[in-house]
Chains A and B, each alone.
Chain A
Amino acid sequence: MNELLDILKDLKPGVDFENEKNLIDDRILDSLDVMNLTVELNDEFDIEITPLDILPENFQSIETIYQLITRLQEDN
Chain B
Amino acid sequence: MNKQNMKNILKMMIFLCLVITLLHLSSRIVEPKQNTKESGIKYENARGFYGERQNSLDIIAIGNSDLYNAMNPLQLWHEQGIPSYVCAEPSQKIVEAYSLLKQTYLNQTPQLIILEVDELFTKSDVDDLDISISETLKEIFPVFDYHNRWKNIQKDDFIKEKVYNQKILTKGYKYYNNVQSYKGGKSYLKNKKKSSLTYTTQYYLNEFIKYAKNNGSQVLLMCCPTANTWTMDKHHTIQKIADQYQLQFLDFNMLLDDIDFDWTHDTRDGGNHLNDFGAQKVTHYLGNYLKLQYHFQDYRTHQDYQNWNQDYLEYHQKLKYYKGKNGFIGK
- The reply to whether A and B meet directly (CB within 8 Å) is no
Residues of A whose CB lies within 8 Å of any CB of B are none
Q: Residues of B at under 8 Å CB distance from A?
A: none
